[in-house]
Homo-oligomer: A and B are copies of this chain.
Amino acid sequence: MTYEPVPATHREVRLARRPSGAPAPGDLEVVEAPLPEGEVLVRNEWMLMASAYRELMKERPGLPLPPFPVGEAPTGRTVGTVVRSQDPAVPVGALVEHFQGWREYAAGPGGAFAVRDRDLLPGPEYFLSNGPTAWLGMAGMAEAGPGDVVFVSGATSGVGSVAGQIAKARGARRVIGSAGSKEKAEYLVEELGFDAAFDRHDGPALDLLRELAPDGIDVFFDNTGGEQFEAAVQLARPGARFALCGALAGQNGDDTSAGRPRLDLLTAISRQLVLRPFACFHTPDQIDGWNRQFAQWLDEGRFVYPRTVVEGGVAGAPQALFDLLDRKFYGNVLLRLTGGTDRIDEGGSR
Which of chain A's residues 10-64 have a Cβ closer than 8 Å to chain B?
55, 62-64
Q: A272-B279, A275-B276 are in contact. Are A263 and B266 (CB under 8 A)?
A: no
| Copies per complex of this chain | 2
Which of chain A's residues 84-141 have a Cβ closer than 8 Å to chain B?
none
Which of chain A's residues 267-283 have a Cβ closer than 8 Å to chain B?
267-279
State how many angstroms separate the Cβ of A97 from the closest Cβ of chain B.
23
Q: How far is the CA of A272 from the CA of B229 in the complex (A)?
A: 17
Which of chain A's residues 50-86 have a Cβ closer than 8 Å to chain B?
55, 62-64
Residues in B whose Cβ lies below 8 Å from that of A229: 263, 265
Q: A247-B270, A275-B276 are in contact. Are A262 and B265 (CB under 8 A)?
A: no
A300 within 8 A of B: no
Contact of A265 among B260, B267, B268 (CB under 8 A): B260
Residues in B whose Cβ lies below 8 Å from that of A262: 260-263
Interface range on chain A (Cβ under 8 Å from partner): 20 to 34
State how many angstroms separate the Cβ of A276 from the closest Cβ of chain B.
6
A164 within 8 A of B: no
Most buried by B among A63, A248, A263, A278: A263
Q: How far is the CA of A274 from the CA of B261 in the complex (A)?
A: 17
In the complex, what residue of chain B is closest to A60 when comparing beta carbons? B266
Q: A262-B260, A262-B261, A262-B262 are in contact. Are A267 and B62 (CB under 8 A)?
A: yes
A246 within 8 A of B: yes
Residues in B whose Cβ lies below 8 Å from that of A244: 265, 268-269
Is the beta-carbon distance between B277 and A269 smaller than 8 angstroms? yes
Which residues of A approach B to under 8 Å, CB–CB? 55, 62-64, 222, 225, 229, 244-248, 251, 259-279
13 A–B contacts, CB within 8 A, in A order? A62-B267, A64-B271, A225-B265, A244-B265, A244-B268, A244-B269, A246-B265, A259-B264, A260-B264, A262-B263, A269-B279, A274-B276, A275-B276
